[in-house]
Structure 1
Amino acid sequence: MDEIWKDIEGYEGLYQVSNLGRVKFLERKVASGYSAFRVIKEHIVTPRLKRGYHRIRLCKEGSKRFFFVHRLVADAFIPNMENKPTINHKDGIRNNNVVSNLEWATFHEQIVHSYDVLHRKKSMAHLGKFGKYHNRSKAVYQIINDEVIAEFGSIREATRATNINCSSIGRCCRGIQSEAGGYQWKYKEEE
């Protein structure tokens, strides 16, 4: 397969991305001190791994941003007619960013792909949390002055309703800290 290069949107003339999943820094002059300039030659940018995905940092006018390489490749080479929010790696290998291995997908399509095509086992992490309907959730009480003022199906449900950090509520329920958000919290089974 021949390597085809395209400018990265928003970084035209500075960086290019290829259909093979590589990113190139284009030759240019950069400021080196108050009145001096130096020429930086064209070179391939070395990506770093984040959660198994290749990630690079792009700089423009002093501002630096991180991008996942698979997103840059898909934006440049794969039309997204249906406005799907994510990019799926067809072979399941997160750092294989060749354009033929990428496709736009919804979150649901990604999960179905992992089960049907990649034969991954269904886990609790993919099923999501459904408050009192989730089989691993524990109901919690919100308490003030030793009086229960509210009951929630789960810590996450309490967080959504009260805007109090879920980790703090959990620590209260486990007896690690005394209160969160000005309230005491206990698991329903403990009451």
Structure 2
Amino acid sequence: MVAEIWKQMSNFENYEISNLGNLRNFKTKKHLSLKPNKYGYITISIADNNRKRKSCRIHRLVGKAFLPNPDNLPTIDHINRNRADNRLENLRWASYKEQAKNSVPTKPRKQIEAIDMENEEWRKMTNGLYVSNYGRIKDTNNMLRVLSNNSNYHRVKINCKKYTVHKLVAEYFLKNPNNYKYICHIDGNKKNNKVSNLKWATKSECMKNAMDLGIDK
């Protein structure tokens, strides 16, 4: 039987993580309740050294505390593909390619052919994908990219990084001579990413637009 070893975490000094994937309070030694989320990962919200709460995945906490990473690899892989098995012996640092190769096969996404709408214009982005003035994204094979609806904004995942669609539309279709950092949805609907519904603005202008529409930002 593997002996349990505890380590205090440098960025979360009020907590200890163990080689068996358990988490406890450093002072009281009280264990925290750990349950997998809908994706199978065990995630928990804890306070860092600045008392700011952060959502952390247990396998990453174990890996950072116990696993050397001389090659500076970006991800921690579950060797047996069980995302809830966070024992040290089941974890390894891996590249994105290695992680994907060892992932659990999922039902393939249905691809949707991009049929142009009336007056729809497509512009090629620097990553090789295309964005339209109607707020749609497609790849070089003319297939629409699947958008995420986990928040108020539409997002698309490109090369393991998420982008908000309204920002992509604005960057490729709207001039920004004043270098404004914010983008307003004119009608207040954050899922309406047509270029006609977007404008570059200051933060105060966006807040005023929301107030005029009776929207709680």
Normalising by structure 2, we get a TM-score of 0.55
Corresponding pairs, count: 141
**Contact kept in structure 2, 1:85 and 1:107, CA below 8 Å:** yes
Which is higher, the Rg of structure 1 or of structure 2? 1
Correspondence list, 1:131-170, <5 A:
136-141=112-117, 148=119, 150-151=121-122, 155-157=136-138, 159=165, 162-163=169-170, 167-168=191-192
Unpaired segments of 5 or more residues in structure 1?
Answer: 28-40, 126-134, 170-179, 184-191
1:8 is the counterpart of 2:9: yes
In 2, distance between residues paired with 1:121 and 1:16?
34
Q: Secondary structure at the match of 2:65?
A: helix
Q: Which has the higher contact order (CA 8 A, sep 6+)?
A: 1
Which of 55, 59, 84 aligns to 2:73? It is: 84
In 2, distance between residues paired with 1:100 and 1:167?
44
In 2, distance between residues paired with 1:137 and 1:167?
21
Q: Secondary structure at the match of 2:196?
A: coil
Correspondence list, 1:110-149, <5 A:
110-114=99-103, 120=105, 123-124=108-109, 136-141=112-117, 148=119
In 2, distance between residues paired with 1:149 and 1:122?
31
Unpaired segments of 5 or more residues in structure 2?
Answer: 124-129, 139-143, 145-164, 172-184, 198-217
Name the structure 2 match of 1:95.
84
Normalising by structure 1, we get a TM-score of 0.61
Correspondence list, 1:166-181, <5 A:
167-168=191-192, 180-181=194-195
Q: What is the aligned-residue identity percentage?
A: 26
In 2, distance between residues paired with 1:167 and 1:181?
12
Name the structure 2 match of 1:43.
30
Which of 60, 66, 78 aligns to 1:71? It is: 60
Q: How far does residue 43 in structure 1 lie from its aligned partner after superposition?
A: 0.7
**Contact kept in structure 1, 2:60 and 2:76, CA below 8 Å:** yes
Structure in which a larger fraction of residues adopt strand: 1
Which of 57, 65, 70 aligns to 2:45? It is: 57
**Contact kept in structure 1, 2:8 and 2:26, CA below 8 Å:** no
Structure in which a larger fraction of residues adopt helix: 1
In 1, distance between residues paired with 2:72 and 2:83?
21
